[in-house]
Amino acid sequence: METISIVGGGIAGLALASCLDPDKFQVTVYEKRPELPTVGNALGMWPNAQRALARLGILDEAKAVSPVIGSGSVRDAQGKPWITVNAGGMFGISRVDLLRLLNAAVPGTVRRVTSNVQGIPADGGLVVGADGVHSVVRREAWGAATGARLTPYLALRGTLPTSVSQDEVGEYWGRGDLFGMAAARGGSFWYASYRSGAGPYGIYAASVLDQARERYATHAPAIRRTLAAAIPGECLVQRLWTVPQLGSYVRGRAVLIGDAAHAMMPTLGRGACESLVDAVTLGDLLNTLPESQALRAYDRQRRLRTRALSLASTAMGRIALADGAQPFRDRLLGLARRRNPRAAVVRGPVG
């Protein structure tokens, strides 16, 4: 049997382990966390990600624990809508639920190793870097110049046991900040992002939550109410990092998937989706083609696609988090809506 070592047991790593042929491969997953996380944000599942979940046999289970996103609006800081988006059949799943379902889908033949891997495993065979933005596999095989790049922004995310009103769902774009709210299983999910000098490590949710309450004190009532109800234990906070554009996702017998290959700004909500698609694409190619052909095909199919999405997410981030240009942005969006209200309704995602 051929040997595959997957470094990272998150979304990308577990999805790949779930779809590799156990009759063809001896798979080992290395993951530093001994248990699955218990706190996590909500992830919008675009159509391509739903197809990946169907390939893994967990789409119905994922839908059963996830509310349909429905429609939401992009608004100014005071809550006045500019654009209303109908998300079609998209649904938002908790990262905790998604990891639980992926973990259960992994065959019992897969070997699990709890280890904080510091280098490429010496198991022989193919090595898959599914170890996130700070990937050890990328650093070791692609070099230090491909290290993660720190953005100026911080992300604060949380959940609440109370539901969010449909006329408050969506994103609120202020001056150098954004805030979003959506329905979640058993309540609601919210997120905030703005420029911050905190960290990049050792950032505490309690202090950032206090900072956010002050920053958003003059924003829409729905934002102030959400932050007032939030508690640190149900929040995640981190600085945002990205990965530089790589010339290839394959180097020798090492290959990158998920955030290890293309960590991007979260402004398009595509990171988890593209990780799932990476994993299923690579798994199916390895199941059916010789390794060298499979790796070339994977790189050809996924690198340009994810590069385009990474560039688009950066561009969207500049618009949503505009600081000095915020008044101009707001005037343009307001003018577009007044001139053509019907054009302000966007229907159905693609991809």
pLDDT per residue as tens digits for the range 284-311:
999 999 999 999 999 999 999 999 999 9
Please give the pLDDT value at position 336.
Answer: 77
Neighbours of 334 (CB within 10 A): 13
Q: Quick check: pTM over 0.85?
A: yes
Closest CA to 264 of 211, 298, 310: 310
Question: Is it the case that residue 55 has pLDDT exceeding 70?
Answer: yes
Share of the chain above pLDDT 70, in %: 97
Please give the pLDDT value at position 88.
Answer: 84
CA distances 98 to 141, 202, 213, Å, are 29, 26, 30
DSSP H or E run through 191: strand 187-195
Q: Are residues 294 and 315 in contact, defined by beta-carbon separation less than 8 angstroms?
A: no
Question: How many separate domains does the chain show?
Answer: 1
Domain at 133, CATH number: 3.50.50.60
The band of 186, judged by pLDDT with boundaries at 50, 70 and 90, is confident
Residue 207's identity, in one-letter code, is S
**286 alpha carbon, distance to own chain's centre:** 25
Question: Is it the case that residue 342 has pLDDT exceeding 60?
Answer: no
The band of 351, judged by pLDDT with boundaries at 50, 70 and 90, is low
Please give the pLDDT value at position 348.
Answer: 54
Please give the pLDDT value at position 350.
Answer: 55
Segments forming the whole domain that contains residue 49: 2-347
The mean predicted confidence, pLDDT, of the chain is 93
Rounded Cα gap, residues 47 and 270, in angstroms: 11
Question: Is it the case that residue 156 has pLDDT exceeding 60?
Answer: yes
Question: Is it the case that residue 16 has pLDDT exceeding 60?
Answer: yes
In this structure, of 86-90, 213-217, 276-280, 296-300, the range with the lowest mean pLDDT score is 86-90
Q: Are residues 81 and 170 in contact, defined by beta-carbon separation less than 8 angstroms?
A: yes
Q: Which two tokens stand for residue 224?
A: 């102030």
Please give the pLDDT value at position 126.
Answer: 98
Neighbours of 141 (CB within 10 A): 19
Q: Are residues 283 and 293 in contact, defined by beta-carbon separation less than 8 angstroms?
A: no
Please give the pLDDT value at position 124.
Answer: 85
